Amino acid sequence: MAELVYTAITSLDGFIEDESGRFDWAVPDDEVHAYINDQEKSLGTYLYGRRMYEMMTGWETDPALAAQSALMRDFAQLWQAADKVVYSRTLERVSTARTRIERDFDPERVRRMKAAAPHDLVVSGSGLAAHAFRAGLVDEVRLFVVPVVVGGGKQALPSGVRLGLELRDVHRFGGGTVHLRYRAAA
């Protein structure tokens, strides 16, 4: 059975974007980007909310992104090869291959996806991830903690959810970012 992984790049004070909606402080350097690419190889399906999906579509629709470096090209290829499910009541159609729209987040359907998937699934975007956390679907949490305090904004982890976690791995990067990998406690 595949697992559902929540992954996010977060500030030290726990935000994925600041109060202005900016996340320019979260752009990974080459060392972090290479590590992210390596992590992405084990994932088969991305679960996105509309906003996160629209932000990520450039990895397929904007060739200039992949042309920036070998790391960017590798990520674009990984992203394009993965299946994507977008949860949105307003998105009328998708602009990328291997992508489908679901109108509502149905925890039972996600459980069936996990049971049938040959590779792990990843949920991205804090809003959609909150639904997955509340439904008890998240098996692993991977946080890239950037050495910056932004003082407020969109939280990386949902409020009102309690989940015991077991630390499985810590990886330090030269620029000060730390990757924390936790397993949901049984």
Q: Report which residue type is found at 100.
A: R
Ordered per-residue pLDDT tens for the chain, 186 residues: 999 999 999 999 999 999 999 999 999 999 999 999 999 998 999 999 999 999 999 999 999 999 999 999 999 999 999 999 999 999 999 999 999 999 999 999 999 999 999 999 999 989 999 999 999 999 999 999 999 999 999 999 999 999 999 999 999 999 999 999 999 997
Closest CA to 79 of 112, 36, 128: 36
Pair 86, 48: CB distance under 8 Å: yes
* DSSP states along 149-176: ---SEEESS-TT----EEEEEEEE-TTS
Closest CA to 182 of 171, 56, 43: 171
Predicted local distance difference test score (pLDDT) of residue 186: 75
Helix axes 30-40, 70-81, angle to 10 degrees: 20
Residues of 46-56 as b/e, b for ≥16 C-beta within 10 angstroms?
A: bbbbbebbeeb
How much is the pTM? 0.95
Predicted local distance difference test score (pLDDT) of residue 86: 98
